[in-house]
Amino acid sequence: MFRGFYTVASGMLAQQRRTEMLTNNMANANTPGFKADQSSLRAFPEMLLQRFDEQQIPTEKGINLPVNNVVGSINTGVYMQDVMPKFIQGDLRETGQKTDLALVDVVMPQNEETGYAGSIFFTVQNATGETRYTRNGDFTLDGQGYLTTSAGHYVLDTTGNRIQLSSEDFSVDANGVLIGAAGETATLGIGYAADPFQLVKEGDGLLRNEAGGQLADARGIAGAEFSLQQGFLEGSNVDVSRTMTDMLTAYRAFEANQKILQAYDKSMEKAANEVGRIG
């Protein structure tokens, strides 16, 4: 009975975590460059149950030998695996703003170890001066003319320096070279992650390289082809209709586990208050 409580509780916790993940995806369906999180439910390792018994040997003195009778396997519940972003190109949306930039994955080499394709990212600097990465190209110029993200993080060039421009009247070619109205030039830092699942979300659309160090320049990666589109933004890759369906499924699974838990609770209440009563 108590094992049933634990099994049902694990199912409720797993569905709650899944609902929270899907809700976050839905909330960021219109966030530029957002990568939808994905996960799967896994069962805890199964346990093999055995019953210890004795078997009588028909001898003159009668010998009892201990034996193990296999009852079968039992599972103790489910859990949700680690949440990982889905690094698939989002749809491009034209804005006409010169400060809006979008990365386009033309050809990304496939990682032989993971079987997944690599991915590219804008290189930015967070509030503490550390290098981070993003696909959100919703940029702007601050009061000093530095190119920043919508959250105020500085966009970096290939040498790790901040990019300063005289005005928003600048152009960017397909390779990421910026040319300002006053003749200033800079090349956007584009990092390449051979295994993008090593990147961890930090908020504000930023990603941290969990393996440490900085990502290699995408321009030096053999077989990697990409381009930049000025005046465009990459949309999120959230499938709204699929996410809504998954949310309803998770809610119904949570509700079913809740009803089972209530049934267990009533059974325990009856066992404590009625079965054990002495008339």
pLDDT in tens, 192-239: 999 999 999 998 899 999 887 899 999 999 999 999 999 999 999 999
Alpha-carbon span 54 to 276, nearest angstrom: 31
Task: Look at the block and give the residue holding tokens 């069962």.
Answer: 43
Instruction: Give helix then strand counts, H and E, for the chain.
Output: 2, 22
| Angle at 57 (CA atoms; ends 55, 60), nearest 5 degrees | 150
Q: Residues 17-41: what's their mean pLDDT?
A: 92
Decide which of 146 and 268 is more confident: 146
For the entire predicted model, the pTM comes to: 0.79
Total number of residues shown for the chain: 279
Task: Report residue 259's pLDDT band, with 50, 70 and 90 as the boundaries.
Answer: confident
Q: Residue 261 pLDDT more than 90?
A: no
Decide which of 162 and 77 is more confident: 162
Alpha-carbon span 196 to 231, nearest angstrom: 26
Sequence-ordered list of residues with C-beta below 8 angstroms from that of 174, at least 6 positions apart, any chain = 227, 228, 229
Task: Report residue 48's pLDDT band, with 50, 70 and 90 as the boundaries.
Answer: low
Decide which of 270 and 189 is more confident: 189
> Given this model, what pLDDT does residue 98 score?
94
**Of 43, 106, 35, which Cα lies nearest the Cα of 78?**
43
Task: Report residue 191's pLDDT band, with 50, 70 and 90 as the boundaries.
Answer: very high
> Given this model, what pLDDT does residue 278 score?
56
Q: Residue 50 pLDDT more than 90?
A: no
Backbone CA torsion sign across 152, 158, 163, 167: negative
Decide which of 198 and 72 is more confident: 198
